[in-house]
Amino acid sequence: MRLLQKLSNHPLHLLLGYIAICLGLILIFNDNYYFWPPYAAHFFNSDFVGAWGLFSGVGVTYVAAQSSFPIQANQVWLISLCGFFGFETGLELSHAIALADSHMLVTSLLFSGFLFLTFIAIRKDTHIKVKLEQRDEKMKEGRSKLKKIGF
């Protein structure tokens, strides 16, 4: 019961984690999923890409199940997940363009949605918001210094 209560605190993390785990397993077990470009198909179909998705999904799910939300682990796993979904979006889109395949175009749009949801999860992280605000303040200070010296 306590585990269900912990998991309900971060439903977006769980959704993205389960999607990445499923995609990772599909890519690990299917060695002929990607076939274009022909010179790189052996790398794209390697278990590395599937393991990347699997471990990113497990990491995000693990972080969501923790009682105290580990901020740095959350950032690392969400960025890894963002990279995985972006990579998959690019691969599916390149297949759709090269082969004029509407199925792969729809899949690339679906992966784009997962990527967008990952961006939302990253943006909702308050620690990242604080860092962005600090960065913006430093940029304003730098601009005011440049204006003082005549740039």
Name the pLDDT band for 16 (thresholds 50, 70, 90): very high
**Residue 134 CA neighbour count, 13 Å, CB half:** 6
Looking at the structure of the chain, the number of domains it has is 1
Q: What is the pLDDT of residue 46?
A: 86
37, pLDDT greater than 90? no
Looking at the domain assignment, is residue 58 inside a domain?
yes
Q: What is the pLDDT of residue 40?
A: 85
Looking at the domain assignment, is residue 21 inside a domain?
yes
Looking at the domain assignment, is residue 12 inside a domain?
yes
Domain residue limits at 117:
2-125
- pLDDT, mean over the chain: 85
Looking at the domain assignment, is residue 37 inside a domain?
yes
pLDDT in tens, 104-114: 899 999 999 99
Looking at the domain assignment, is residue 117 inside a domain?
yes
Q: Which residue's structure tokens are 């019961």?
A: 1
Least confident of 15-24, 28-37, 50-59: 28-37
Looking at the domain assignment, is residue 33 inside a domain?
yes
Q: Which residue's structure tokens are 């990952």?
A: 118
Looking at the domain assignment, is residue 146 inside a domain?
no
Pick left, alpha or beta for residue 69 (phi over 0 → left; psi -120 to 50 → alpha; otherwise beta): beta
Looking at the domain assignment, is residue 39 inside a domain?
yes
